[in-house]
Structure 1
């Protein structure tokens, strides 16, 4: 990049940097996270500066980049939260001791009961759930294999879980 672009960018940061940081902080309410996102915004803006439309206002452009970075962060955070809600049980804690034989037997019986309840679901719900939880395929892989849109697979997964949940709860009573 030439020196005039760098000088222009530096002037923009000097003029709008403080307001940009306050804006990001108002969205995320966490100082360290706001600092990280601020750095990401500046990097993205610097890299995209040659394609910047001079007719647009720089401040609006920077704030739009900041909003998009915050949305990306929230999306990642939501995915991580979903991991803990749905998948963390698949991993074992390295510090835990091996389950006693009775617990293993109970877990195996419970898993067999869940598999039985799963097998009783209609095929459109059973197949994506089975591929996701037992064959560890991603939703995209299931979508490609079934030759169906990803949104259809997501809907079938949600509906399948909704149909399976009361049956599983009933088993544990």
Structure 2
């Protein structure tokens, strides 16, 4: 047995669904992503549908939900991109010729100094940085090994890098 709210919601989707999808697509320009965001909009709209007081504002209400879902996506995407762009240090190694003995010594010395700097960090940051940069574990592997959520690993990496940055800049000078 169907209730009036379900019928009203279905009518709303039939009436405004295509316009909402086209609006989302115009913002993100990716079909699959638009479909995902459209589904999120419909779920949010359905869950809050009973709260709408003015049916005349239904269309603008749906567009607001769609715009906010897109903003949430972009905000999340920008945080992810910014996190991955951060670097604690960078260097370039030549593949063509083997390193000179003095270069190898300097490299080992800088790695040793970096390891010493990492050891000065608080333990919660130290382990994430050490596992990532010295043991070449992925964030997911660190999360699994440490039995903590991946978001916590990312936060600890970010904060550990913030603590390390001034110390490592001293090496570059």
Provide the rounded CA distance (Å) in 2 between the counterparts of 1:67 and 1:168.
Answer: 40
Pairing of 1:22-171 with structure 2 (within 5 A): 33-36=27-30, 40-46=36-42, 53-56=49-52, 58-59=58-59, 60-86=61-87, 98=95, 100-102=97-99, 105=104, 106-135=106-135, 136-138=137-139, 141-142=142-143, 145=146, 154=155, 157-171=157-171
**CA RMSD of superposed structures (Å):** 4.6
Provide the rounded CA distance (Å) in 2 between the counterparts of 1:162 and 1:4.
Answer: 52
Name the count of aligned residue pairs. Answer: 156
Per the TM alignment, residue 51 of structure 1 is displaced from its structure 2 partner at its CA by: 5.2
Per the TM alignment, residue 169 of structure 1 is displaced from its structure 2 partner at its CA by: 1.5
The one-character-per-residue Cα deviations of 1:59-98 (angstroms, maximum 9, x if unpaired) are 31442243123212321232123212238969x9xxx961
Provide the rounded CA distance (Å) in 1 between the counterparts of 2:154 and 2:80.
Answer: 17
Per the TM alignment, residue 130 of structure 1 is displaced from its structure 2 partner at its CA by: 1.2
Structure 1 residues 81 and 153: CA distance shift in structure 2, 3 A: closer
Whether the 8 Å contact between 1:121 and 1:160 is mirrored in structure 2 is yes
The one-character-per-residue Cα deviations of 1:113-158 (angstroms, maximum 9, x if unpaired) are 211222243434422321233332527945972769x65983x544
Unmatched 5+ stretches in structure 2: 1-6
TM-score by length of 1: 0.57
Per the TM alignment, residue 9 of structure 1 is displaced from its structure 2 partner at its CA by: 1.9
